[in-house]
């Protein structure tokens, strides 16, 4: 008897845009508090990123990611965290 398993889509299959592997130094800015956490942006797409930090469990639900080299600021929302990594989706400004 041949059993066929239904496979769960991988993270890459569920993303809106393909992520590029990068290594950018950055900071996580808590916005409403005078707190920043150093991190590395390791995957990046127009809609989100994966951040690596020793303090993943302390990252708030919403924050800004500031890329050191370009000083670009990405308002972000935490989607998941664990094992020193944080998955984020970038927030787009609301239109009036």
Q: What is the 3-state secondary structure (H, E, C) of 1-25?
A: CCCCCCCCCCHHHHCCCCCEEEEEE
Residue 13 three-state SS = helix
CA atoms in the 13 A half-sphere facing the CB of 83: 2
- Is the full-model pTM beyond 0.85? no
Res 6: pLDDT: 35
- The pair of structure tokens assigned to 28 is 């996580």
- The pair of structure tokens assigned to 18 is 């393909």
- Tell me the CA end-to-end span of the chain in Å, nearest whole number: 59
Q: What is the dihedral of CA 77, 81, 86, 92, to 10 degrees?
A: -10
Res 4: pLDDT: 40
pLDDT in tens, the chain (96 residues): 444 433 334 454 454 556 677 789 999 999 989 999 999 999 999 999 999 999 999 999 999 999 999 999 999 999 999 999 999 999 986 544
User: What's the CATH code, domain 19-90?
Assistant: 2.40.10.220
Res 5: pLDDT: 38
């Amino acid at each position: 008897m041949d059993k066929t398993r239904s496979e769960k889509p991988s993270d890459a299959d569920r993303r809106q845009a393909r992520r590029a592997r990068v290594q950018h130094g950055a900071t996580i800015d808590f916005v409403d508090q005078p707190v920043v956490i150093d991190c590395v942006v390791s995957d990046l797409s127009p809609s989100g990123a994966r951040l690596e930090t020793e303090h993943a469990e302390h990252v708030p639900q919403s924050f800004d990611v500031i890329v050191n080299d370009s000083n670009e600021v990405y308002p972000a929302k935490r989607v998941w965290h664990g094992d020193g990594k944080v998955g984020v989706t970038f927030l787009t400004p609301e239109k009036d």
